[in-house]
Amino acid sequence: MTNSEIDAPAGASPHSRSRGRATAVWILLVVAGLLLLLSSFAIWINRVALNTGTFTDTSSSLLDDDEIRSAVANRAVDELFANVDVRAEVEEQLPTDYKGLSGAATAGLRQASYQIVDRALEQPVFQELFRVALEESHTTLVEVLEGGGNRVSTDEGEVTLDLRAIIIEAADRIGIGEQVVDRIPADAGQIVVLRSDELDTAQNVFQLLKALAWLLPLLTLAAFGVAVWLSGDRRRTIRGIGWVVVVVALLGLVAARLTKNYVVDSLVERRDDRQAAGNAWDILTELMRGSFRLMVVVGLLFVLAAWLAGPGRRALTVRGWLAPGLQNRAWAYVVLAVLGFLLLFTAGMVDFTRLLVVTLLVALGAVWIEVTRRQTLREFPDAQGTAFLADTWERLTTWWEKQRAAITQPAAVPSPPPDVPPAAPATDVASRLTALSQLHAKGELTDEEFASAKARVLAGD
C-alpha cells in the first residue's frame, strides 16, 4: 500500500483522490495567475509611477513625441494669452497710425506662437524646465501620499504640475517676455494632480500598493510552488504554469489598453488633447507593457521545456539530437547564461525585483538542464559528445568560410573555352602520302609498313 493510499480518507478511490488533486492544482494555478497579474500592476505602480527618479527619467522623453509637444505648446500659449492682455501690449508698441491693427496683429501673433513654442520645446532649455516641473510635482505627490509632506494641507490643498516657467519662457520666445513677465499670475499653467478631498483615499491606496508590491510576488511564487508540489505529473504542471504566464501576460496587455482608454476618455476633456494623452500613457507604461511581453517569452520557454521532457516521438527525437551536446554541460549553461543576460539587461529598468526574478528563472533553468541531461543520457548512452562538438565546429567553420569567401572574393567570371587546335589542312595529308609513296618506291618501306603508315595518316595520327 502506498503512502497516498494510507493518507487518503477511508472509502476514497485512487481515481477520486487523483481527480481531487488535479482540481486543486488547477485552482492553485488560476489563483497564482490572478496574483501574478495584480503583482505586475502593483510593482509597476510602486517602482515606476510612485518612484520620482524613474518617473522623471521616463517622462523626460514625453516632449520627444510630436503630439505631446504640440499639446504642451498649445497649453502654454493659451495660458499666456488668457492671463495677460497681449493685445494691449501689442497696441502699445505699434505706431499711432497703426494702433487700430492691434487686434489683427495679436491674432496673427497667437497663431504664430503655437509653432514657435512647439519648435522651442525641442531645445534643451524647455525640456529641462519641463523635467524640473515634473520632478517637483512628483516629489510633492509622493511626500503627501506618504503622509510626511507639509506642502499640501488637508484643507483646500492641491498637488499641481506647475508650467509657469514654461509660459514665461514661451513669452520670451515670442518677444513679449520683458513686458508681461510680472503680469503672469503665480497660478498660471497649473494642472491639478491631487486635491485635498482625495487625499485620504490616495494615501490608503498608496500604502496598500507599497505592501502589495512586496507581498503579491511572494504569494504568487508560493502558489506556483504548492501547485508543483501537489501535482502527480509535474511536467504537465510546469507546462500549465507556462500557459498561465502567457495568458496573464496577454490579459495584462489588454488591461493596459483598456485602462488607457478609460483614463484618457474620463480625465481629458478636450478631444484635441486625447491623442497626446494617449501617447503620454504609452510612454509612461512602456516598462509595464515590456514586462508583459517578456512574460510571454518566459511562459513559452516553460511550455517548451515541459514538452521537451515529455514522452512524445518528436520530443524523443529532439533529445536524441541534443544528447551528444549534453555530454558536456558547458553548452547548455552557455545558452542559459545568454538567456539570463537578455532577460536582465533588455529591460528598461533593473531593480531588486527583476534581479530576484531573473535569478530564480536561471536557477530553475539549471535544474531543468540537470534533470533533462540525466534523462537524455539514460535514453542515449552511446551518444558521443566529442563527435557532436567536432561536427558542430566543422559545420560552423564551413559556413563561415563560405560567407567570408562570398564577401571578400569577386564573382567568378567564366573562363573562355580552351583553344582547339586547328585541324590539319588537307594538303598536309596529301604531302605525307606522297612522301610515303616515294619511300615505298625506293624500297625503304615494305608493303606492310607502307600500308600501316598510310592507314595512320588517313586516320589523322
pLDDT of residue 27: 93
Range of weakest confidence among 38-47, 215-224, 287-296, 344-353: 344-353
pLDDT of residue 6: 38
**What's the pLDDT band for 252 if we cut at 50, 70, 90?**
very high
Mean pLDDT of 283-303: 87
- Report pLDDT digits (tens) over 384-402: 655 555 566 567 777 777 7
Q: How far apart are the first and last CA of the chain?
A: 99
3 state SS for 321-381: HHHHHHCCHHHHHHHHHHHHHHHHHCCCCCCHHHHHHHHHHHHHHHHHHHHHHHHHHHHCC
- Report pLDDT digits (tens) over 90-141: 777 677 766 677 778 778 888 888 888 888 888 888 788 888 888 888 787 7
Angle at 127 between CA 282 and CA 275, to 5 degrees: 30
- pLDDT surpassing 50 at residue 431: yes
- Report pLDDT digits (tens) over 142-171: 777 776 555 444 444 566 677 778 888 888
pLDDT of residue 253: 93
Range of weakest confidence among 209-223, 242-256, 328-342, 392-406: 392-406
Mean pLDDT of 189-212: 70
Task: Report which of residues 55 and 425 the model is more confident about.
Answer: 55
Task: Report which of residues 24 and 205 the model is more confident about.
Answer: 24
pTM here is 0.66
**What's the pLDDT band for 247 if we cut at 50, 70, 90?**
very high
pLDDT of residue 73: 84
Mean pLDDT of 280-300: 85
Q: What CA–CA distance (Å, rounded) separates 72 from 130?
A: 10
Residues paired with residue 445 on neighbouring β-strands, in sequence order: none
Angle at 163 between CA 56 and CA 209, to 5 degrees: 40
